[in-house]
Amino acid sequence: MRVRAALQRATPGRYEIREIDLDEPKEHEVLVRYVASGICHSDVHYLTGEHVGIVPMCGGHEGAGVVEALGPGVSGLAVGDHVIASFIPFCGRCRYCAAGRSNLCDLGAKLQLGPQLDGTYRMHDEGQPVNQFLLISTFSPWSVVPEQSLVKVPKDVPLETVCLLGCGVGTGLGSALNAAAVRPGHHVIVMGVGGVGVNAVQGAAMAGAATVVAVDPIPFKREMALRLGATHAYPDIAEATEFVRSITNGQGADSAILTMDGPTGDDVAAAFDAISKGGTVVVTGMASHHTPPGIPINLLMLAGMEKRIQGCLFGMCSPAVDILRQIDLYRAGRLKLDELVTRRYPLDDINLAVTDLLEGRNLRGVIMHEH
């Protein structure tokens, strides 16, 4: 079929809306009609060249839609089902999936290379193969994706909102709940409260943190964080650290979660200084490919104060379990999702959505597909 999709064709680059060919689903693949897709900073890292992918590439990885056709061998899904596309596929049987750590599924090795899991392509632009970002390409109203990337969800929740569960929400929530293991009474700092970080704020508040300090240079982000569970907000980490020390007898925070875009070694070191003995720094924000290696921390303090630096991918979530839990929390009014969407855009305005993200105008922008 012919579809109009947003392609990145150069690095650095902008999206171009191109009419491309989409093949039928092959074995264990599904044709999805996406209703909506959030736009995450990870998409934009590729456009700016901070991350380097293989172009041409059809972007987007935070989508929700409806199953329209099944390839041979698909189980557990039917035409008409509502689905959220997980940006990490999960096989259910590798050692990580079996251990409840599907975010580290071995299929992750096939991500970002471009073709589908069998090594062939479903999208073509004038005969040339088009890579599918994270296998799912949600910046197209139609896509063919692995069954392992889909979570079936109830039909009573709005797809134009729960699409955010495909990446940003679970990543942020899990950064607090799983990676930082926030407990009642903790003092937590969240550095960078955009689409991911604001959900770390929600997660820390949900876990019963006594103090949730949002750090972001953008006043609008700080205001939103305060509305969504932060108890305090500061424009930079130095002020936040000073404040947390002032209320903890000089000890510092139990955890500092880095959800800003492009964290550097210096940012991790600042977070390391902000935490107490036994505290945890969580690194969720994706560093630029060009950032030099190294974190300038005092290694004596690492051992002597038993501090921990913890990387975090998709909030350490198992999508098939956690996305459904998040839907229950949303239905119960305990997880705010509607409030996270600042603006919705037609696909034709996707570059405006990118600009709004880069200029800090959106907590989350969402692309609405037309059919």
Ligand X SMILES: NC(=O)c1ccc[n+]([C@@H]2O[C@H](COP(=O)([O-])OP(=O)(O)OC[C@H]3O[C@@H](n4cnc5c(N)ncnc54)[C@H](O)[C@@H]3O)[C@@H](O)[C@H]2O)c1
Taking CB under 5 A as the criterion, which residues in 109-168 touch Zn ion?
A: 167
Draw the binding track, 194-213, toward ligand X (x: CB under 6 A; -: no contact). Answer: xxxx----------------
Helix (H) or strand (E) holding 198: helix 197-206
Q: Is residue 97 within the footprint of Zn ion (CB under 5 A)? A: yes
Q: Which residue among 147, 216, 254, 322 contacts ligand X (CB under 6 A)?
A: 216
Instruction: Number of residues interacting with ligand X: please give it, by CB under 6 A.
Output: 32
Q: Which is nearer to ligand X, 171 or 276 (CB)?
A: 171
Q: Is residue 219 within the footprint of ligand X (CB under 6 A)? A: no
**Closest residue to ligand X using C-beta atoms:** 194
Q: Which is nearer to ligand X, 74 or 173 (CB)?
A: 173
Quote the least distance from Cβ 231 to ligand X, whole Å: 17
Q: Is residue 286 within the footprint of ligand X (CB under 6 A)? A: yes
Q: Where are the beta strands (DSSP E) in the chain?
A: 2-8, 15-22, 29-39, 57-58, 63-70, 82-85, 123-125, 128-132, 142-146, 150-153, 187-191, 211-215, 232-234, 253-258, 275-283, 308-311, 341-346, 364-368
Residue 156, token pair as written in the block: 């009573």
Q: Is residue 40 within the footprint of Zn ion (CB under 5 A)? A: yes
Task: Report CA-CA distances (Å) from 330 to 150, 159, 181, 299.
Answer: 19, 13, 21, 42
Residue 300, token pair as written in the block: 């004596």
Length of the chain: 371
Q: 277 with 305: CB under 8 angstroms?
A: yes
For residue 94, the partner it binds in Zn ion, ligand X, none, with Cβ less than 5 to 8 A by kind, is: Zn ion
Q: Which residue among 357, 366, 367, 369 contacts ligand X (CB under 6 A)?
A: 357
Q: Is residue 273 within the footprint of ligand X (CB under 6 A)? A: no
| Nearest-angstrom CA–CA distance, 133 and 114 | 6
Draw the binding track, 137-176, toward ligand X (x: CB under 6 A; -: no contact). Answer: ------------------------------xx--x-----
Q: Which is nearer to Zn ion, 64 or 105 (CB)?
A: 105
Considering only 90-98, 229-237, 260-268, 296-304, which stretch makes contact with Zn ion by CB under 5 A?
90-98
* Cis peptide preceding 12, ω within 30 of 0: yes
| Nearest-angstrom CA–CA distance, 362 and 143 | 26
| Nearest-angstrom CA–CA distance, 17 and 8 | 9
Contacts to Zn ion by CB under 5 A: 40, 42, 91, 94, 97, 105, 167
